[in-house]
Amino acid sequence: MRAPARARSAGLVVVAACLGLITSCGGDGDGGSARPEPSVSRPTVEPAHTAAYEAGWREGKRIFEDGGKGAAVREVVWGGCVRRSLTARPREVVDKDRGAWVLGCEQGVGSGADRHPPTGPVTRRVPDPDLLRRFRSWAAAQGERQSARDAGRVVLVHLGTHDYDVELACACTAGSAKDDARRLADAFATWWDGDDGDGTAWNLVVTDPTGQRLFTRALG
């Protein structure tokens, strides 16, 4: 027997109301809790000093495995890690904090190998206009007038608490840049003559005016 029309209408209203409640609660029948958005993991960028330190550490461990305890003297006492940092790869990692790379290399090559990663940048670049003035004065007096003219900005590149390099910008012409840089490096190294001051200067790095490396020469 058919239900009265009024009863059927009431039943439809109740069903519609229930469907409305389910839809408003997310349509998943979980009692009203909205489903959380999936978390999106974002890649973290490693700080420059950390990446350089880790690269230096790996190189130091490799040197120790190849050369044993004698490698530590060569790389730490005689500046091996400092010199290696000028040609170490990958350049885009090393050049961002060469001091951190040297630190990692020296710690990695040690037989005990205690890791003490830096908590911040290690390399410090300090302009030294007085050093430039004194070199220019000496070069002019010694007949090295071209070197005196070519010598530009001088920056001391501190690679830690004791070791540093001298960076000398050369106002070299494009056609003879390599020869000019070599001549300038020879004159500067003669004038320097092992005078390290506070710390040990290991390398002279001659660059063009934009900072691109043209020539390197050992100082220590």
Compute CA 57 distance to the chain's CA centroid, rounded to the nearest angstrom: 13
- Residue 135: strand, helix, or coil: helix
The pLDDT, as a whole number, for residue 110 is 86
126, 178, 197, 133 alpha-carbon torsion, rounded to 10°: -70
Mean pLDDT for all residues in the chain: 83
What mean pLDDT comes out for the span 51-68? 94
Q: Quickly list DSSP for 14-29.
A: HHHHHHHHHHHTTSS-
Q: What angle do CA 185, 97, 99 make, to 5 degrees?
A: 70
The pLDDT, as a whole number, for residue 184 is 96
Cβ within 8 Å of residue 169, ≥6 positions away = 151, 152, 153, 154, 155, 206, 207, 208, 209, 211
Tokens for 68?
């044993």
The pLDDT, as a whole number, for residue 199 is 87
E-strand stretches of the chain: 124-127, 151-158, 163-170, 200-207, 213-218
Phi-psi region of 168 (alpha: psi -120 to 50; beta: other; left: phi over 0): beta
* 121 in Cβ contact with 75 (< 8 Å): no
Phi, psi of 203, deg, nearest 5: -135, 150
CB count, 10 Å around CB of 29?
8
Closest CA to 161 of 103, 218, 202: 103
Residue 112 binned pLDDT confidence (cut-offs 50, 70, 90): low
The pLDDT, as a whole number, for residue 40 is 53
CATH code of 124-218, in short, is 3.30.300
User: Where exactly does CATH 3.30.300 map onto the chain?
Assistant: 124-218
* 161 in Cβ contact with 121 (< 8 Å): no
Q: Please list the residues that pair with 164 across neighbouring strands.
A: 158, 201
The pLDDT, as a whole number, for residue 175 is 83
